[in-house]
């Protein structure tokens, strides 16, 4: 339960001294029906859903005691956007920085937050969070440069919603029955995990909206009718204020903005979120991809129907934002990591997502524990296994990630452990970065920073950061479907530094022991020969590109039987023709008779005469047939 002290602090925001904020989370199934269409089991906390919001102040220590009461599913918690400096083991993704929390087990997350802003926490286990385990995490900043610009704060989530549970949806999504990798389309959109949300406002005031897209898949266009937005923060990074009439938030992105209310209270105003339907493989006719809420000036007044937009969405371009701290472009990179996004099918017929032909598969040993148990070998990427797609970064290196989208969909890429400089983003269909002849000279002087950036279809993005945060950090697409189909890579940042500074708490190892997950060894849990990864977890084999042995055998066999058949037909056909004298049908005899009749009857023209010849002939035929017995006149 959230400490009431913190909630108080959050709203008043006065004290700057560090405190410890403790939450005891009992993670369990509850039933909910947020869109009024279907009751379904959702993952609640302490019997509640929507989930409690984690709130703290900059400098506070947050402790989350998570207990898994789900009974049938593992879990873990990721605190999205928190840098986890010095506490990479509290980051949350299973098999990366921890073992899964088994049903009945507990796990203590304990970390100190040094960054203000709007974040969220969610499960980072097996695509679980869209089943409900997702909520905002707000770090208040008593020293905020904008603290005098607004009167009150409102936290607003937007999300997509499914009526089926993720395990079944994922089983379908990654199956041969879905060879195109069509992502399940949500059933509805939600504001604050509900619909027709009303937010009472007072006239002539300024509100800070902290908005989070906690959805699984759909990006959302968001706008307020009759009001403008002033953007102040994206993904925890303060920006110079920027006016916007509409914003776009991909899954996992956040944005804080000011909304100043009108001075009159004679009408209420709708605000809308509209799911980005370009992501959807198909658009079901009964899908309402919009969700509406209202700024309520006067509850007695009607809630106006919003104008629905169908196309020509013109959201604010987040690349145009300038961070408040004016941090300039990082110098030329020491290491460039290029990742090409591809979707393809593997030997099981299912569709997978690839970075450079590698689809992510979890290692047997959580990558962080491989770092800690491998000694000097920790800087050798090979030990982390081919399918975790590891990149080892040296401390304080400047790293550049170039992502080329060879796929036709939008992908919001998220890097754990930091906000990166988004130094370049191409338009759609611009091709690869290398082909576009863009140099650092075109990069902005003060690049926008955030932790989740949308990559456009068949375009490219370039990100830069300084490797000053030792830890094991995932870089992945935050569309939960693609996370499951393997669109992820692992950055092992300053592994020697991790070994020197990090101690894993006993309860973390206990979680591994409970699930019999090895905690030492390389990705294949081999601690004898660290470079032997033959036992590593691997994706299905690629689809055979041509004839396999099986195919060749079948083809040869079929050709053989075809030839044999043809030979038999020929044998039968010619045997008949040749064997005129053998005891075969009477036709032969009959023909002789008929021919005889034909020549004999030449002196008479009447048909009757011919017929009598035929009669004699008929007798011959009969006897002939009796001899042959085949009756085969044909």
Partner 1 sequence: MAVDVFSVPVFLVVFREALETVIIVSVLLAFLKQTLDGPNRDPVVYKKLVRQVWLGTALGFLLCLIIGGALIGVFYTLGANRWEASELDYEGAFCLIASVIITIVGFTLLRIGKMQEKWRVKLAASMEAPVRTDHPGAGKAVKRFFEKYAMFVLPFITVLREGIEAIVFVAGVTFSAPATAVPLPVVVGLLVGAIVGYILYKSGSSTRLQIFLVISTCLLYLVAAGLFSRAVWSFEQQKWSKLLGGDVTETGSGAGSYDVDNTVWHVDCCSPYVNGGNGWGFFNAILGWTNSATYGSVISYNLYWLFVISALFVMRFREVKGRWPLMKAKPAEIDVEEEVQSGGSSVKLGAESKAVDVEKTVPI
Q: Which of 437, 504, 500 is nearest to 470 (CA)?
A: 500
- Smallest gap from Cβ 609 to partner 1, in A, equals 9
**C-beta of residue 346 within 8 angstroms of C-beta of residue 543:** yes
The tokens 């009992």 sit on which residue?
Answer: 26
- Smallest gap from Cβ 172 to partner 1, in A, equals 10
By beta-carbon proximity to partner 1, the closer residue of 500 and 545 is 545
d(CA 531, CA 79) in angstroms, rounded, equals 33
Contacts of 508 (CB under 8 A, 6+ apart): 89, 98, 99, 107
Terminal C-alpha separation, the chain = 94
By beta-carbon proximity to partner 1, the closer residue of 10 and 586 is 586
- Smallest gap from Cβ 249 to partner 1, in A, equals 31
By beta-carbon proximity to partner 1, the closer residue of 500 and 550 is 550
Backbone dihedral angles phi then psi of residue 191, each to the nearest 5 degrees: -110, 130
- Smallest gap from Cβ 182 to partner 1, in A, equals 9
By beta-carbon proximity to partner 1, the closer residue of 156 and 350 is 350
- Smallest gap from Cβ 482 to partner 1, in A, equals 17
By beta-carbon proximity to partner 1, the closer residue of 171 and 243 is 171
- Smallest gap from Cβ 179 to partner 1, in A, equals 2
- Smallest gap from Cβ 590 to partner 1, in A, equals 5
**C-beta of residue 23 within 8 angstroms of C-beta of residue 62:** yes
- Smallest gap from Cβ 599 to partner 1, in A, equals 7
C-alpha separations of 445 from 83, 112, 320, 478 in Å: 24, 32, 12, 28
Contacts of 597 (CB under 8 A, 6+ apart): 610, 613, 614, 616, 617
- Smallest gap from Cβ 617 to partner 1, in A, equals 5
C-alpha separations of 592 from 350, 453, 588 in Å: 70, 94, 6
C-alpha separations of 15 from 6, 119, 168, 465, 527 in Å: 10, 21, 47, 32, 50
By beta-carbon proximity to partner 1, the closer residue of 500 and 634 is 634
Contacts of 78 (CB under 8 A, 6+ apart): 91, 92, 93, 121, 122, 123, 124, 416
Q: How many CB atoms lie within 10 A of CB 49?
A: 21
By beta-carbon proximity to partner 1, the closer residue of 204 and 347 is 347
- Smallest gap from Cβ 457 to partner 1, in A, equals 18
Contacts of 468 (CB under 8 A, 6+ apart): 395, 396
By beta-carbon proximity to partner 1, the closer residue of 151 and 344 is 344
Over its C-alpha atoms, the chain yields an Rg (Å, rounded) of: 36
**C-beta of residue 25 within 8 angstroms of C-beta of residue 76:** no
Q: How does DSSP assign 362-431, residue by residue?
A: --SS-HHHHHHHSGGGGG-GGGG-GGG-EEEE-TT-EEEEEEEE-SSS-EEEEETTSPEEEEEEPPTT--
**CA–CA–CA angle 288, 294, 295 (5° rounding):** 155
By beta-carbon proximity to partner 1, the closer residue of 175 and 328 is 175
Residue 35, preceding peptide bond in cis (omega within 30° of 0):
no
By beta-carbon proximity to partner 1, the closer residue of 328 and 568 is 568
By beta-carbon proximity to partner 1, the closer residue of 441 and 608 is 608
- Smallest gap from Cβ 539 to partner 1, in A, equals 14
By beta-carbon proximity to partner 1, the closer residue of 179 and 203 is 179
- Smallest gap from Cβ 580 to partner 1, in A, equals 10
**C-beta of residue 523 within 8 angstroms of C-beta of residue 533:** yes
- Smallest gap from Cβ 407 to partner 1, in A, equals 15
Three-state SS sequence of 159-185: EEECCCCHHHHHHHHCCCCCCCCCCCC
CA 407, distance to chain mean position in Å, is: 13
By beta-carbon proximity to partner 1, the closer residue of 226 and 573 is 573
- Smallest gap from Cβ 597 to partner 1, in A, equals 6
By beta-carbon proximity to partner 1, the closer residue of 117 and 539 is 539
d(CA 573, CA 583) in angstroms, rounded, equals 16
- Smallest gap from Cβ 591 to partner 1, in A, equals 4
- Smallest gap from Cβ 185 to partner 1, in A, equals 13
**C-beta of residue 456 within 8 angstroms of C-beta of residue 406:** no
By beta-carbon proximity to partner 1, the closer residue of 163 and 395 is 163
By beta-carbon proximity to partner 1, the closer residue of 304 and 628 is 628
C-alpha separations of 57 from 6, 15, 108, 562 in Å: 8, 9, 20, 80
Backbone dihedral angles phi then psi of residue 464, each to the nearest 5 degrees: -130, 145
Backbone dihedral angles phi then psi of residue 376, each to the nearest 5 degrees: -70, -20
């Amino acid at each position: 339960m959230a400490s009431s002290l913190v909630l108080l602090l959050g709203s008043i925001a006065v004290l700057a001294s560090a405190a410890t904020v403790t939450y005891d989370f009992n993670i369990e199934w509850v039933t909910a029906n947020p869109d009024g269409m279907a009751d379904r089991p959702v993952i609640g906390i302490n019997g509640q859903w929507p989930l409690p919001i984690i709130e703290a102040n900059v400098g506070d220590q947050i402790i989350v005691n998570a207990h898994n009461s789900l009974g049938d599913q593992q879990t873990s918690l990721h605190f999205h956007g928190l840098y986890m400096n010095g506490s990479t083991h509290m980051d949350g993704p299973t098999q990366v920085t921890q073992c899964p929390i088994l049903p009945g087990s507990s796990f203590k997350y304990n970390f100190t937050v040094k960054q203000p802003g709007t974040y969220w926490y969610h499960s980072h286990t097996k695509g679980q969070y869209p089943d409900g385990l997702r909520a905002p995490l707000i770090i208040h900043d008593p020293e905020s440069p904008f603290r005098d610009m607004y009167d009150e704060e409102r936290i607003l989530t937007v999300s997509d919603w499914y009526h089926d549970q993720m395990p079944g949806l994922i089983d379908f999504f990654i199956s041969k029955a879905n060879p195109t990798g069509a992502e399940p389309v949500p059933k509805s959109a939600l504001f604050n995990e509900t619909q027709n949300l009303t937010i009472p406002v007072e006239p002539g005031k300024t509100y800070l909206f902290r908005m989070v897209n906690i959805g699984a898949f759909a990006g959302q266009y968001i706008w307020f009718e009759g009001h403008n937005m002033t953007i102040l923060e994206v993904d925890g990074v303060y920006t110079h204020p920027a006016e916007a009439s509409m914003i776009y938030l991909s899954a996992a992105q956040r944005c804080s903005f000011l909304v100043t209310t009108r001075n009159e209270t004679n009408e209420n105003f709708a605000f809308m979120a509209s799911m980005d339907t370009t992501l959807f493989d198909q658009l079901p006719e009964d899908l309402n991809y919009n969700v509406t809420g209202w700024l309520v000036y006067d509850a007695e007044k009607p809630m106006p129907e919003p104008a629905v937009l169908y196309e020509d969405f013109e959201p604010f371009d987040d690349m145009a934002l300038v961070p408040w701290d004016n941090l300039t472009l990082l110098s030329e990179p020491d290491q460039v990591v290029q990742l090409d996004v591809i979707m393809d099918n593997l030997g099981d017929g299912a569709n997978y997502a690839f970075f450079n032909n590698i689809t992510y598969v979890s290692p047997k040993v959580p990558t962080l524990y491989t770092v800690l148990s491998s000694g000097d070998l920790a800087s050798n990427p090979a030990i982390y296994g081919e399918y975790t797609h590891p990149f080892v970064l040296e401390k304080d290196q400047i790293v550049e990630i170039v992502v080329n989208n060879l796929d036709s969909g939008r992908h919001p890429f998220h890097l754990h452990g930091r906000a990166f400089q988004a130094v370049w983003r191409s338009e759609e269909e611009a091709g690869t970065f290398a082909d576009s002849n863009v140099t650092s000279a075109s990069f902005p002087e003060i690049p926008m920073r955030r932790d989740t950036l949308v990559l456009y279809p068949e375009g490219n993005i370039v990100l830069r950061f300084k490797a000053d945060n030792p830890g094991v950090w995932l870089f992945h697409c935050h569309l939960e479907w693609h996370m499951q189909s393997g669109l992820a890579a692992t950055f092992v940042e300053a592994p020697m530094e991790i070994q020197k500074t990090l101690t894993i708490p006993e309860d973390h190892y206990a979680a591994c022991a409970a699930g019999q997950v090895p905690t030492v060894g390389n990705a294949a849990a081999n601690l004898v020969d660290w470079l032997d990864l033959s036992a590593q977890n691997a994706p299905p084999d690629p689809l055979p590109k041509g004839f396999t042995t099986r195919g060749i055998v079948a083809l040869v066999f079929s050709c053989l039987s075809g030839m044999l058949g043809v030979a038999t037909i020929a044998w039968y056909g010619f045997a008949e023709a040749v064997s005129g004298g053998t005891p075969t049908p009477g036709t032969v005899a009959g023909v002789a008779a008929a021919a005889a009749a034909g020549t004999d009857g030449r002196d008479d023209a009447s048909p009757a005469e011919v017929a009598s010849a035929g009669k004699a002939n008929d007798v011959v035929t009969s006897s002939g047939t009796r001899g042959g017995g085949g009756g085969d006149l044909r």
